[in-house]
Amino acid sequence: MADDFELDTDDLTRRMDGAIANLRTELASLRTGRGSASMLDPIMVDAYGSTTPINQVGTVNVPEPRMVTINVWDKALVGPVEKAIRESGLGINPQLNGTIIMLPIPELNEERRREMTKVAAQYAESARVSIRNLRKDGMDQIKKAKSDGLSEDDMKFWEAEVQDLTDKYTKTVDDTLENKQAEIMQI
């Protein structure tokens, strides 16, 4: 019965890819002293009775390296967008110009850069925890198959497969974090 056991490594890979994608999204929201449209992705605006991403209530542009602009489509939403940005914790002070909200990106001082590298490390650790939880799921499936009659050799093979996947994705998290921290510390 358990001789035909095959662990769904595609599912584990897909879920680990999701953890990496989530990490990259979180890291993109960290300010590095340069403007980017993705830094506004996590910010939600109360619009039309529901929370909506900023990029769905206006056009986000980066006209120059230290400036991000949002051209809000509905005049009534300028206030809620400005409020959402102020409360987001990005440390940016929005400036209004009609329906255009300008976000000047200030220089980061050394202390703020170090704080941001710590935040990036927290995001990476969350991704590592997700990957370890997925590893545990895979190992639990293997243990269940072992109790259903999976051979010892097959069990070792599948455990090695899961561990290889885990190591590969953990290294990806570490590399991504290292790159982001270097980007943050760059002056």
> Can you spell out the DSSP letters for 143-174?
HHHHHTT--HHHHHHHHHHHHHHHHHHHHHHH
Q: How many domains does the chain have?
A: 2
Last residue of a domain, one of 104, 132, 153: 104
DSSP tally for the chain: helices H, then strands E: 4, 6
Last residue of a domain, one of 104, 123, 153: 104
Whether residues 116 and 180 share a domain: the answer is yes
Highest mean pLDDT among 26-30, 64-68, 183-187: 64-68
- Give the global pTM: 0.68
* Vertex 91 angle, CA 87 and 97, to 5°: 75
The answer to whether residue 155 is domain-embedded is yes
Q: What is the pLDDT of residues 61-79, one digit of tens each?
A: 988 888 889 999 989 888 9
- Look up the domain containing 72 and give its range: 34-104
Whether residues 51 and 97 share a domain: the answer is yes
